[in-house]
Amino acid sequence: MSFNSTLAFGIAALLCCSDSATAAEFGRPATAEEIKAWNIDVAPDGTGLPDGQGDVARGRQVFEDNCSACHGAKGEGGFADRLAGGRGSLATDHPVKTVGSFWPYATTLFDYVRRAMPYPAPQTLSDDDTYAVVAYILNLNDIVPADAVLDRSSLPRVKMPNRDGLVPDREFSVITNSRQHQGRKP
């Protein structure tokens, strides 16, 4: 077959294919139920939190069953990140970034656990078990009492120790540059 014949055949095939299927014929619009199942993000103000509730005692059991193998028996760390402790360490030479020392919002903890945990089976915890394990982790960090029950109303009201500790990037750059000029490490 000559080059011209091959080219003509290729163009003909392309034209046939482009006429037989348009972009509108691929897939279908998502249903409201499909979008709702996919759209599980939770904002810092609690927008997006589902119905349900969980307490510290139930959270301890959920944690032992699903989290302790990676994060340690009481969130002190294993081969995965440490979750508890470290409060007051961020301004030191050896900061310990944990839920209790670094995270600014309890709702983001719920969002992360709901989306990504437990490894390797994310999104397998019920909403009640997610609230419970979040309550337990917050209790390990002395943020909520041992009898705490969390839900979509109470979780956004939890005041995290580092809620006001993060600064916008612009301010951080100014602070970092200022410290460098003073001979200190950022």
Domain membership of residue 26 (yes or no) is no
Domain membership of residue 155 (yes or no) is yes
Domain membership of residue 131 (yes or no) is yes
Helix (H) / strand (E) containing 139: helix 127-140
Decide if pLDDT at 50 tops 50. Answer: yes
What is the C-alpha to C-alpha distance for residues 168 and 77, in angstroms, rounded to an integer?
29
| pTM summary value | 0.75
Q: E strands along 41-151, which residues?
A: 53-55, 149-151
Question: In CATH, what number is assigned to the domain containing residue 96?
Answer: 1.10.760.10
Domain membership of residue 29 (yes or no) is no
Decide if pLDDT at 110 tops 70. Answer: yes
Domain membership of residue 2 (yes or no) is no
- Name the band, by pLDDT with cuts 50, 70 and 90, for residue 18: low
| Omega before residue 118 within 30° of 0, cis | yes
DSSP one-letter code for 81: P
Q: State pLDDT tens for residues 122-142.
A: 999 999 999 999 999 999 999
Average pLDDT over every residue of 117-124: 95
The domain of 166 spans: 40-172
The structural domain count of the chain equals: 1
Q: E strands along 88-171, which residues?
A: 149-151
